[in-house]
Structure 1
């Protein structure tokens, strides 16, 4: 079906008291797996492409964006296209021509004042083009190239009063907050601060986003949704499923050379992971 907008999906989730899953696309197989998992779960999903993924593809957004959009258009699931963790202003400006309905502009490494200034400018640019803009306040940490971050360290988590001021000053449509998760976790051991999620929900008038959800157990994710999280980002869990399935297949078939033989079980494993997460979000 035609691409839907991220704004529609999050608005629908907010009205229903659930969350929409946003899954990282690195290869065509990721996009196909996300679509298949959404169809299996009977739920919408967001196909998100990060700046790191664009760098992996030689710095060109168009090919992977076109591939993801094409997968979405032949799927029976409601799917949107989101550009994630954008730092480069050139990449930000490439979002609209490539059909993205939303971007996450990441100025979280800047000082608070510079973050506000840069994000407000990104929001103005996005809103002029009908693009939904997400931003981050607090330190989720764990992205490639960053120093390890203790998600429980003092000063890491998002402050509700600061979050309210930040949303008012920037005009963002959604806010990613630091509440105990971390990017790139391969074990599901994170413990979230549900009291803080509730206070953030009450403090800001926009939907909350949980980054680093791959390391969060199902029960914690379900509780976070009940507390007010409306967009749940998942990336590493897909890669873990894909790599595990490929490694298992190649171990059993060491003479194989046809990539279709081993990427197929990897893609299937990712689809199963997407379906499971979406069922948790809608439960």
Structure 2
């Protein structure tokens, strides 16, 4: 069933649980995420990033329509989220393409520019009924909030949330994007202080590199929306590689996409069980 992202996140927050948000690149990703969520009996969020839209020749509608159709056929609540949007033109396409939420990303701009741009994006998105997440970046590094060693300051986060009106905030507490190994260690004391400082749900980016015990502790300390992308692609690619290595004459893509989809679904189910534990 298709449900607005904000409702799914609010329900998870009220229950003291984490909600998994998984990046979708192909239709097989969307199918795998929903299959995994159904197996775990947990709600889930499908995320399509600006980079994924670029992969689809800059056309949002085809992949968004496919993902929403998969969501609507699901037996569990599924949200649709447009992720890491930097383009105002893309932001303005979100509501018309069925998205319930967007993550507006001005994190690599200086603080004041981030705040001004995000506040404007929030006003525009809220007029269209969209729930808005943002990321507080440029705290100690030009690479944004997830540069190595960078951490989000609770007082600055509180000021930023009040000034922008965002509905959720992605914070830097020790994870990094595109991690292929699960070795990240999070600052749980900082998560607790951020939870107490801001009135909106906290979001953890780069969660593929975070071990299960760290994710459980992070949710207990106040993290709500947990973004996972690289772990799906790792499972997908490993399954495809194994299938093709085992049969070098194989040409039918269904024969290697099916096990890849199954591998991603297993990854999703396992992660959701951890987040809901």
Normalised-by-shorter TM-score class: over 0.9
Residue matched to 1:177: 171
Give the superposition deviation at 1:139: 5.9
Give the distance between the partners of 2:60 and 2:76, measured in 1 at CA: 23
Q: CA deviation at 1:150?
A: 4.9
**Which sections of structure 2, spanning at least 5 residues, go unmatched?**
none
Is structure 2 residue 154 aligned with structure 1 residue 187?
no
Deviation at 1:128, TM superposition (A): 1.0
Residues 213-262 of structure 1, C-alpha deviations (whole Å, 9 max, x = no match): 00000100010000000000000000000000110111111110000000
Asked if the contact 1:139–1:158 (Cα under 8 Å) also holds between the matched residues in 2, the reply is no
Is 1:233–2:230 an aligned residue pair? no
**SS of match in other structure, 1:279:** helix
2:157 counterpart residue number: 163
Partner residue of 1:213 out of 207, 221, 237: 207
Does the CA-based 8 Å contact 1:139-1:178 persist in structure 2?
Answer: no
8 Å CA contact retained: 2:109, 2:138: no
**Contact 2:170–2:202 (CA under 8 A) maintained in structure 1:** yes
CA-based RMSD: 1.3
Q: Are the counterparts in 1 of residues 122 and 132 from structure 2 also a CA contact under 8 Å?
A: yes
Aligned 8 A contact 1:176 1:209 in 2: yes
The answer as to whether partners of 1:138 and 1:157 remain within 8 angstroms in 2 is: no
Per-residue deviation at 1:73? 1.1
Aligned partners of 2:224, 2:125: CA distance in 1, in Å? 21
Mapped contact 2:33–2:264 kept (Cα < 8 A): yes
Secondary structure of the residue aligned to 1:97 is helix
Q: Deviation of residue 19 (structure 1)? A: 1.1
| Contact kept in structure 2, 1:48 and 1:83, CA below 8 Å | yes
Does residue 45 of structure 2 align to residue 46 of structure 1? Answer: yes
Q: For 1:253 and 1:193, how far apart are their aligned partners in 2?
A: 46
Q: TM-score, normalised by structure 2?
A: 0.97
Say if 2:108 and 2:137, in contact at 8 Å, map to a contact too: no
How far residue 75 of structure 1 moved from its aligned partner, in angstroms, is: 1.3
Aligned counterparts of 1:254 and 1:150: Cα–Cα separation in 2: 41
Corresponding residue pairs, total: 273
Aligned residue number for residue 148 of structure 2: 151
Give TM-score scaled by structure 1 length. 0.94
Secondary structure at the counterpart of residue 94 of structure 1? coil
